[in-house]
Chains A and B, each alone.
Chain A
């Protein structure tokens, strides 16, 4: 066994990856099935001289993270459905003020307190549209142990590169399962490091479309102002329509200009596939063996497994649908990605969905049955 070969719980893989990625501030509030992350951080962060704090609720947790991020820290919080609902206002603040931060949302059954100890994939749309107002968001959906690690590192990199909150989205099964993993050595990790900004005057939000704000952290010698109100190029509050429209566009385009750098996916057996199975997270874990079994039966099925769920991998799917005319969306909810698929795949693509929201993940056999019927 290699030195870094371990059997670890999913949540612990994520916590370790965050620490390896340089996360040095964690604020959170316990909630099943994410609590192991907070517990691990409370033990390990102070060993490294880094900060851990348990706040009074999830609103406070994300508030503390934003404050610490502005003070120069690499921040993480972890939660599940009810807590993620509480975080929505501060998620919007993070987008508005362009704050790098990572939120882990371990999905459990909802709505409300729902099914605390059962998996679900029903926060697809909450991660996209949960906070009010138009906003860009990046949501990553690992499915395998090694991806829990690599996507956590990528979440930090993307949040720092694009000055935006990034959500790492997985579910109770991946969170709780103990899996075999070969942890990479820290020296082999690619960690995004931005060149230190020099700001001219205080025009911290003055930029061309596609660029990031020229912001420094607090206490760097510039009296900067950060605001959740719409603001002008200096950060001062404004409601002047021209400026407001420009700022909206700038916040969107700093991300949507770089889709190729953000969108990541795995494809299995897709070269000659006639049925595209679209599945992420725990559902992809069932869909992959299902596709393999279908192949053994001579059915040409392939799996498209997005690692970036938002922005949705629209362009690449459209390319696939120029040839493939059948799509099966597999998700553990009453139908959320399915609607996105309807927008993305043209009318000549036959669309089916395997849906369920009772807390029981799909088995490969169940997915296979759907493939066979198609």
Chain B
């Protein structure tokens, strides 16, 4: 047994994923990141919402929680605030995180709560059979855009940087080693971190867009992947369909939410309570003096 397999819960296999699905690559990358950081599985909780990607926690041999569609970050927020000493990882699909869960996503980022989000962007609602998502590229055919998608997609990195996330990165399933490395770095980050992983859903997206096997889809992803440095040299038109990868934003100085709560709010409240008690005591002794 290789070391990273300590983090895999084999007894729940097989996974529900189609052969060649990118989700398997993400599963292994996360397990390897856990392993390289030599984390105790008991100190980790992996939380997810609903979707093909949402099934991932079942396969980690850590504390795991499979919640409701789009809301994994809310459960994770409760766990992190209750146990700031533990590592809270959230796995979310593109629909899960940016459509139904969009509100929770920006607020988790804004709070900078110490949750490490791995957002698997396959550009479609995989689990429900291939409907359009807020990250489906324009013109793509899906089950609910039979004439082509007219909606522009979010740029997750820009969205989350604007929402004040303190660690924003992007990688693709084509590059498992780089993926593992960036996931590992995000796990070492103290505040809210997100790694957007561009993944392939050849079954429910590729198939309808002339990319019916994993190879065709991963080639398509490859053609759209550029380094951050290259991306910055591109014109706005050139950038439109490209995904810059690597760590796109990092702020190590912003304080993490639960840290702030325990180091600022609790002492402030306790000081207020003490001051009030003191005043009360003075008042009673003063009134006693008046009486005597």
Chain A residues with a Cβ under 8 A of chain B = 25, 27, 43-47, 49, 51, 53, 55-57, 59-73, 75, 89-90, 93, 218-221, 223-229, 236-237
Contact = CB atoms under 8 A, between A and B. Distances in A.
A72 B82 contact: yes
A59 B71 contact: yes
Interface in B50-85: 55, 57-58, 60-68, 71, 74-83
Contacts of A227: 58, 65-66
Contacts of B37: none
Contacts of B104: 56, 60, 63
A229 B67 CA distance: 8
Contacts of A75: 78
B137 interface: no
Contacts of B57: 225
Interface of B: 9, 12, 41-43, 45, 47, 55, 57-58, 60-68, 71, 74-83, 86, 103-104, 107, 261, 265-266, 268-270, 272-273
A67 B103 contact: no
A67 B82 contact: yes
Contacts, number: 142
Nearest to B72: A63
B67 A63 contact: yes
Nearest to A66: B75
A51 B82 contact: yes
Nearest to B85: A219
A91 to B, nearest CB: 11
27 contacts: A25-B82, A46-B269, A46-B270, A55-B107, A59-B71, A60-B71, A60-B104, A60-B107, A63-B67, A63-B68, A63-B77, A63-B78, A64-B78, A65-B78, A66-B75, A66-B78, A67-B77, A68-B81, A89-B71, A218-B79, A218-B86, A219-B63, A219-B83, A220-B42, A223-B60, A223-B61, A225-B64
Specify the main secondary structure of chain B where it touches its partner. Answer: helix
B58 A90 contact: no
Most buried by B among A45, A51, A225, A226: A225
A70 B81 contact: no
Nearest to B271: A47
B268 to A, nearest CB: 7
Given A63-B75, A67-B74, A226 B66 contact: yes
Contacts of B107: 55-56, 60
A27 B81 CA distance: 10
B41 A68 contact: no
B65 A226 contact: yes
A93 B50 CA distance: 13
Contacts of B77: 27, 53, 55, 60, 63-64, 67
Contacts of B60: 223
A355 to B, nearest CB: 35
Given A56-B103, A64-B78, A70-B65, A221 B42 contact: yes
Contacts of B62: 223
B64 A71 contact: no
A216 B266 CA distance: 28
Contacts of A62: 74
A236 B82 CA distance: 25
